[in-house]
Amino acid sequence: MFKKTTLTLLLATGLAVTTVAAADDWRRTADESTKIDQLVRAMPNTADLMLHVGERYNNLYWAARQEQWDFAAYQAKELRGVLNRNKVTRPGRAADIDQFLELAWPEIEEATASRDWDRFEAAFGSMRSACLACHATTGYDFIGLPLVPPRPANPALHLD
C-alpha cells in the first residue's frame, strides 16, 4: 500500500510541476512580441561565438600541420560559418566580419586547398594578423592570439 501511495503522490506531484512549468513557458503562452524579445535575448553574443571561432582556429592550424587537409578544410568552412552566424546574431559586427572575410579568407581557403604547409603557414599568419587588427579596431585589442595555437582540442587530431 505504501509503495502504491508513494508512487501516486510522486506521479501527481511530477504532473503538477510539469503542468505549472508548461503554463509558465513563454514559448507557448507569450504574445508574439514577447517571444521575439526573448529569442533576441537568447541569441549568442560575439564573445560566445568567438569561443567557437577560437576552437576552429586552433583545430584549423593543427589539422593543416598534421596534413589532415580535408579536416583543415572542414574547420575553415565551420569557422567561416560561425563568423557568418555572428553577422546574424549581432548585425553591428557584420561590416567588420565582412571586411575580415574579404581580406583574410580567400588566402586561407586557397592555401588549405593547395595542401601545401608552407603556403598554409603564411596564410594562417596573415589571417592571425587580420584577426588581431579586427580586435584592435573593435576595442578588443587585449584579446591576443598565439602565433602557434596550443595542442588541438578536437580528438580527431590526437592520433599520436
Residue 63, H or E segment? helix 46-65
pLDDT confidence tier of residue 150, bands split at 50, 70 and 90: confident
pLDDT tens for each residue of 82-138: 999 999 999 999 999 999 999 889 999 999 999 999 999 999 999 999 999 999 999
pLDDT of the residue at 81: 96
Whole-number Å distance between alpha carbons of 92 and 52 = 19
Put simply, whether the predicted model's pTM sits higher than 0.85 gets the answer: no
Handedness of CA 70, 74, 75, 79 (dihedral sign): positive
> Which of 77 and 153 is assigned the larger pLDDT?
77
Domain boundaries, the chain: 2-42, 46-157
| Mean residue pLDDT across the chain | 85
> Does 18 have pLDDT greater than 50?
no
Instruction: List, for residues 45-83, the tens digit of each pLDDT value.
Output: 888 999 999 999 999 999 999 999 999 999 999 999 999
Residue with grid cell 575553415, as numbered in its chain:
76
Q: Quick one: which of 26, 10, 30, 100 has its CA closest to 79?
A: 100
pLDDT reported for residue 11: 54
